[in-house]
Amino acid sequence: MELKLTAEKRIETGKGAARKARERGEVPAVMYGLGDPPVSLLIKKEDLSDALGSKAGSNVLLDLQVVDGKNKDSHLVMIKELQRHPFKEKLLHVDFLKVARDTKVSMRVPISITGEEESEGLKAGGTLQHNLWDVEIECLPGEVPDHIFIDIAAAEIGDHLTVSDLKPPDGVTVLTEPGDVVLTILAPRLIVEEEEEEGLEAKEEGAPAEEIPEGATGEGGEEG
């Protein structure tokens, strides 16, 4: 998917200028890549939000129109890094990477789970534990997927699914280590707790009775 986005060349830089730009509803940005020097930009928050809201999300391929006074240049870019406010729904800064259609790029892509309804482990009461939420991939700019899928339909309790179990589209190479664990099907917590309680009760029942010293009497008694 390819979308058009307009940006304005930014003259004033620094934290103060960036803060004022955000107050005006603009997002500071920088564009770099293909051996060219970095260029500071400003983008309307609404336009950037619309692009991010597309099906491709942050991996959308963009035809970026950079306005510099009366001049306008077109650049093919992708979002390399997106900074958000940690607590507020607010975009702080975006890095655009200039790309060529015939040159592969490396990007991070989120992992999406399929087969949850058919999963043997989940049907048996197991729960999912996520270890990895995205992976590094390499492909042509126009072939970057919005997600890479992992199927858990056949996964049973105790199974570990790794990067090697991912199903990337044709033309996409996963760069993350194949042995890295993506998720695990954990045993039901209730069963584990019951087993622990039963083990504790059995231990208490098998404990030897407290020995009474020879010649001792019951409470308040005297020796005979």
CATH code for the domain of 72: 2.40.240.10
pLDDT at 223: 45
Mean pLDDT is lowest, of 8-17, 123-132, 154-163, for 8-17
76 in the same domain as 139? no
Backbone angles phi, psi at 18, to 5 degrees: -65, -40
CB 58 within 8 A of CB 1: no
52-61: average pLDDT: 74
Residues 187, 191, 195, CA angle at the centre, nearest 5°?
A: 120
Parent domain of 84: 2-99
Q: Residue 213 pLDDT more than 60?
A: no
Domain with residue 123: its CATH number is 2.170.120.20
Instruction: Read off the pLDDT band of 196 (50, 70, 90).
Output: low
Question: Do residues 63 and 78 lie in contact, with contact meaning Cβ atoms separated by under 8 Å?
Answer: no
**Whether pLDDT at 190 is above 70:** no
**Which of 41-45, 120-124, 189-193, 212-216 has the least mean pLDDT?**
212-216
Under DSSP, the state recorded for 19 is H
Summary mean pLDDT of the chain: 84
Q: Tens of pLDDT along 30-52?
A: 999 998 999 999 999 999 888 88
Together in a domain, 8 and 74: yes
- Percentage of the chain with pLDDT > 70? 83
Structural domain ending residue among the three candidates 70, 99, 128: 99
Where in 45-90 does DSSP place strands (E)? 61-68, 71-84
Confidence of residue 221 (pLDDT cuts 50, 70, 90): very low
Q: Residue 191: pLDDT band by 50, 70, 90 thresholds?
A: very low
What's the one-letter identity of residue 165? D
10 and 64 co-located in one domain: yes
Is residue 63, in this structure, part of any structural domain at all?
yes
* Number of other residues whose CB lies within 10 A of the CB of residue 133: 10
**Do 150 and 125 share a structural domain?**
yes
Q: Are residues 120 and 93 in the same domain?
A: no
Answer yes or no: is 224 within a domain: no
Largest CA distance in the chain: 116
Residue 200 domain-assigned?
A: yes
pLDDT at residue 149 tops 70:
yes
Q: Name the domain count of the chain.
A: 2
How would DSSP label each residue in 157-223?
TT-EEEGGGEEPPTT-EE-S-TTSEEEEEEPPHHHHHHHHHHHHHHHHHTSPPPPPPTT--STT---
User: When comparing pLDDT for 17 and 197, which is higher?
Assistant: 17
Residue 155: which pLDDT band, with cuts at 50, 70 and 90? very high
142 part of a folded domain: yes
pLDDT tens figures, 105-148: 999 999 999 999 999 899 999 999 999 999 999 999 989 988 99
Mean pLDDT value across residues 45-73: 85
Query: Are residues 140 and 171 in contact, defined by beta-carbon separation less than 8 angstroms?
Result: yes
> What does the pLDDT look like over 70-112, one tens digit per residue?
899 999 999 988 888 777 778 889 999 999 999 999 999 999 9
